[in-house]
Structures are given as structure tokens and as C-alpha cells.
Structure 1
Amino acid sequence: MPTPIEIITEFCATFSEDGGRPAVRRWFTPETVWVNEGISRTTGIDEAIGMIDELEKSMGIATVHIDMLAIAADGNRVLTERLDRFERADGSEIGRVTLMGIYELEGDRIVAWRDYVDVNAVSKLAEG
């Protein structure tokens, strides 16, 4: 069985595929809670994919490349410092944000994911 750090590293590495949809389908559960603090909250696979779909429609985000800056584990919890780079379908960059996240695992599945980011930076991305 892979370690929690290995699971989250693989999840983040594959998140750039199809806007993160395959990663969500693979590692989320029907009860997974995904919180972008101050921005959004989803429960389960369908809501998470719905949010991804909405971001693609409203902001043109086709993919997110996650650059891992730091990662640490405390049991089944994995803490990350990341640089998330948002791109359009043509590969041009929309913007990037640095953030902290925490993932909670049960076995090899993510049951909670919370990101903490400067909401002002995200608002600037949304404004174009």
C-alpha cells in the first residue's frame, strides 16, 4: 500500500489531466468534502466535478498544474504547500496562486481536502 504522501503526490501529479476530473473520480469517495476556504465547498464526486465544470465555463480553466513546494504527513493527514497554475484549453496561462492544503485519507482514498488561499488572488484571476 502506498504511503499517504505517495498517494497525494500521485493525485496532484495527475490533476492536470482533463481539469482534474479523472483524479477526482479515482481518489474521491461519494462523501469526500472538498473545501476551498472562503470560495467553495463540495461533497462527493459529482459536486466536485460540477465545480470543475463551472470553473471551466466561468473562467476558462481547462487544466490545473500543481507544483508541489513542500509536503509532510501526520498519520493519514497530508499537508502541502503548492503553486497551482491555471491554464486555458489552448495552454495559455490564466494565472497562478500559492496555497496551503490538507488532505485526509482513509486507505488510499481522499475523504477531505481543504485548501487555504488568498481569496483576493483568486478574485483577480476571476476578473481576468
Structure 2
Amino acid sequence: MPTAIETVSAFCTEFAKDGGRPAVRRWFTAQTRWVNEGLSVTTGIDEAIAMIDGLESSIGIATVHIDMLAIAADGSRVLTERLDRFERDDGTEIGRSMIMGIFELDGDRIIEWRDYFDTGAVANFGSA
């Protein structure tokens, strides 16, 4: 079984494909909570994908590239410092955000993902 850091690293790499949908389907469970502090909370795979679909239709986010700046684990909890880059389907950048996140795992499945970031900067993505 992969380590917690290996699991989160694989998830973040896979998140660049199809807006993150394959990664969500592979590593989330029916009970996984995904918290974008100050913006959204989803529970389970279907709600997470619906949120991704909503961001794609409202802002045009088709791809998210996650640049891992730092990563550390405390047992089954993984802390990340990231630069997330949001792009349209044609590859043009919508925006980028510095993010501190925490992933909680059960084996190789993500059961909670919480991200903390400047919500004001993200709110301007749609006006770019």
C-alpha cells in the first residue's frame, strides 16, 4: 500500500486530467468531505463532481494544475502547500492561488480534503 504522501501526490498529479473528475472518482468515497473554506463544501463523489461541473460552466475552469511546494504527513493526515493554476479548455490561465490544504486518509482513500486560501483572489477568476 502506498504511503499517505504517495497517495496525496498521486491524487494531485491526476487532478490535472478532466478537471479533476478521474481523481475524485478514484480516491474519494461516498462520504468524502471536500471543503474549500469560505466557498463550498461537498460530500461524496457526485457532489464533488457537480461542484467541478459548476465551476467549469460558470467560470470556465477546465483544468487545475497543482504545483506541490511542500508536503508533510502526520500519520494518515497530509499537509500541503500548493500553487494551484486554473486553466480554460484552450490552455489559457484563468488564475492561480496559493493554498494550504490538509488531506485525511483511510488507507489509500481520501475521506476529507480541506483547503484554505484567499477567497477574494478566487472570486476575481470569473472577471479575468
Both structures adopt the same fold (TM-score exceeding 0.5):
yes
Q: What amino acid is the match of 1:52?
A: I
Structure 1 CA distance for aligned equivalents of residues 35 and 9 of structure 2: 19
Residue in 2 aligned with 1:104?
Answer: 104
RMSD, aligned CA: 0.5
**Shift in Å at residue 74 of structure 1?**
0.3
Q: Does the alignment pair 1:121 with 2:126? A: no
Q: What amino acid is the match of 1:95?
A: G
TM-score of the superposition, structure 2-length normalised? 0.99
- 4+ residue runs over 6 A deviation: none
**Shift in Å at residue 126 of structure 1?**
2.8
Residue in 2 aligned with 1:48?
Answer: 48
Q: Helix, strand or coil for the counterpart of 2:124?
A: helix
What residue ranges of structure 1 are gaps of 5+ in the alignment? none
**Shift in Å at residue 124 of structure 1?**
1.4
What do the CA deviations read for 1:32-57 (whole angstroms, capped 9, x no partner)?
A: 00000000000000000000000000
Structure 1 CA distance for aligned equivalents of residues 110 and 44 of structure 2: 10
Residue in 2 aligned with 1:69?
Answer: 69
What do the CA deviations read for 1:57-107 (whole angstroms, capped 9, x no partner)?
A: 000000000000000000000000000000000011111000100000000
Structure 1 CA distance for aligned equivalents of residues 45 and 62 of structure 2: 18
Query: How many residue pairs align between the two structures?
Result: 128
Structure 2 CA distance for aligned equivalents of residues 6 and 32 of structure 1: 19
Structure 2 CA distance for aligned equivalents of residues 43 and 99 of structure 1: 20
**Shift in Å at residue 125 of structure 1?**
1.2
Structure 2 CA distance for aligned equivalents of residues 127 and 103 of structure 1: 30
Name the % identity: 71
Structure 2 CA distance for aligned equivalents of residues 124 and 88 of structure 1: 15
Q: Does the alignment pair 1:88 with 2:88? A: yes
Q: Does the alignment pair 1:11 with 2:11? A: yes
TM-score of the superposition, structure 1-length normalised? 0.99
What residue ranges of structure 2 are gaps of 5+ in the alignment? none
